[in-house]
């Protein structure tokens, strides 16, 4: 079966690997020519435009940085969208934009569902990620075989836009877990403790979270090779803050987290792994 893939970044590449391993033919596009070359090296088939991918494939996965990008791509490819086509969007973005994307696809006779991903590119690569699905149940059933190639667990969370909202709620908690770990390790080192021993104690007791397994060693080693980029999570934090403001809810911890991410970005870590939030605690 042939599957289209628009967006071949960290997550998109991992998705392509999983689909190819499951004997899907992957036809893909990315504005970055090195990403297209990477797909070809994996055994996929890069194309010269997103519209070409959309025109050739009945199932198309979208893995782009923002929901604004999703709307731009769909609008640019509108002439190639065809009846019966299925779009599966893994992007973390605005719930309102998910509804707009769905309406655009529906106007062309196609279907659109959300499959927001909980997990880094490494978890996608091992099919250990969780996918949160939003959309029409019949279309989700159509999508689940493809999604199951890269997500070890899927949860249907409601109609279109529900998965975008759920992803923001999950990312709020997950990001604060990372920030708390970074602060705890920085604090331990500052007061004269061995931070590696502190991580061992944290893992062994009531303060434990899975973030410690995924990001603890990276923080200690200052290994910020990206599995999920810090700037991408900062984008999510801004979406969270905007949604909360729209609803009249104050999020003081998220506001503090936003400032930490800004500090890490100023230190040059926008493209680094999100574990680089610990750099916000580095002394000048």
Residue 284: which pLDDT band, with cuts at 50, 70 and 90?
A: confident
pLDDT at 7: 98
List the Cα angle 10/255/272 in 5-degree steps: 25
Are 72 and 18 in the same domain? Answer: yes
Are 105 and 183 in the same domain? Answer: no
What is the share, in percent, of the chain residues with pLDDT greater than 70? 100
Whether residue 283 has pLDDT greater than 90: no
Are 148 and 225 in the same domain? Answer: no
Write the DSSP string, the chain. Answer: -EEEEE--SHHHHHHHHHHHHTT-EEEEE-SSHHHHHHHHHHT-EE-S-HHHHHHH-SEEEE--S-HHHHHHHHHHTGGG--TT-EEEE-----HHHHHHHHHHHHHTT-EEEEEEEES-HHHHHTT-EEEEEES-HHHHHHHHHHHTTTEEEEEEEESTTHHHHHHHHHHHHHHHHHHHHHHHHHHHHHTT--HHHHHHHHHHSTT--HHHHHHHHHHHHT----SSBHHHHHHHHHHHHHHHHHHT---HHHHHHHHHHHHHHHTT-TTSBGGGGGGGG---
User: What digits encode the pLDDT tens for the residues 152-161?
Assistant: 999 999 999 9
pLDDT at 184: 98
What is the share, in percent, of the chain residues with pLDDT greater than 90? 99
Are 58 and 112 in the same domain? Answer: yes
- CATH number for the domain spanning 68: value is 3.40.50.720
* Domain extent at residue 218: 165-281
Residue 32: which pLDDT band, with cuts at 50, 70 and 90?
A: very high
- CATH number for the domain spanning 263: value is 1.10.1040.10
- 202-234 per-residue burial string, b: 16 or more CB within 10 A, e: under 16: beeeeeebebbebbbebbbeeebebbbbbbbbb
Are 15 and 115 in the same domain? Answer: yes
Whether residue 273 has pLDDT greater than 90: yes
Domain boundary residue, one of 159, 180, 201: 159
Are 110 and 180 in the same domain? Answer: no
Domain boundary residue, one of 128, 159, 190: 159
Are 138 and 9 in the same domain? Answer: yes
Domain boundary residue, one of 159, 194, 229: 159
Are 16 and 59 in the same domain? Answer: yes
Whether residue 277 has pLDDT greater than 80: yes
Are 187 and 272 in the same domain? Answer: yes
Q: How many domains does the chain have?
A: 2
Whether residue 100 has pLDDT greater than 90: yes
pLDDT at 205: 97
Mean pLDDT (the chain, rounded)? 97
User: What digits encode the pLDDT tens for the residues 238-265?
Assistant: 999 999 999 999 999 999 999 999 999 9
Are 103 and 183 in the same domain? Answer: no
Are 12 and 36 in the same domain? Answer: yes
pLDDT at 185: 98
Are 140 and 225 in the same domain? Answer: no
């Amino acid at each position: 079966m042939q599957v289209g893939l628009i967006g071949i970044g960290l997550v998109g590449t991992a998705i392509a690997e999983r689909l190819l391993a499951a004997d899907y033919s992957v036809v893909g596009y990315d504005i970055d020519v090195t990403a297209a070359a990477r797909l070809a090296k994996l055994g996929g088939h890069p194309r010269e435009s997103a519209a070409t991918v959309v025109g050739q494939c009945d199932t198309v996965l979208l893995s782009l940085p923002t929901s604004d990008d999703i709307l731009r791509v769909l609008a640019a490819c509108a002439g190639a969208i065809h009846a019966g086509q299925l779009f599966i969007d893994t992007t973390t973005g605005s719930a309102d934009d998910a509804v707009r994307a769905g309406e655009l696809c529906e106007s062309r006779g196609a279907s659109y569902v959300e499959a927001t991903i909980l997990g880094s590119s490494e978890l996608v690569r091992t099919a250990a990620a969780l996918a949160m699905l939003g959309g029409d149940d019949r279309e989700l059933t159509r999508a689940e075989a493809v999604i199951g190639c890269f997500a070890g667990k899927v949860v249907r969370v409601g109609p279109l836009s529900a998965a975008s909202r759920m992803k923001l709620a999950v990312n709020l908690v997950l990001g604060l877990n990372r920030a708390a770990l970074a602060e705890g390790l920085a604090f331990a080192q500052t007061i004269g403790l061995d931070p590696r021993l502190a991580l061992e104690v944290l893992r062994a007791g009531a303060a434990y979270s899975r973030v410690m397994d995924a990001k603890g060693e990276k923080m200690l080693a200052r290994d910020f090779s990206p599995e999920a980029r810090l700037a991408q999570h900062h984008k999510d934090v801004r979406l969270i803050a905007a949604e909360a403001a729209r609803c009249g809810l104050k999020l003081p911890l998220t506001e503090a987290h936003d400032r930490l991410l800004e500090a890490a970005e100023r230190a040059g870590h926008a493209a680094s792994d999100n574990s680089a939030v610990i750099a916000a605690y580095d002394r000048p």
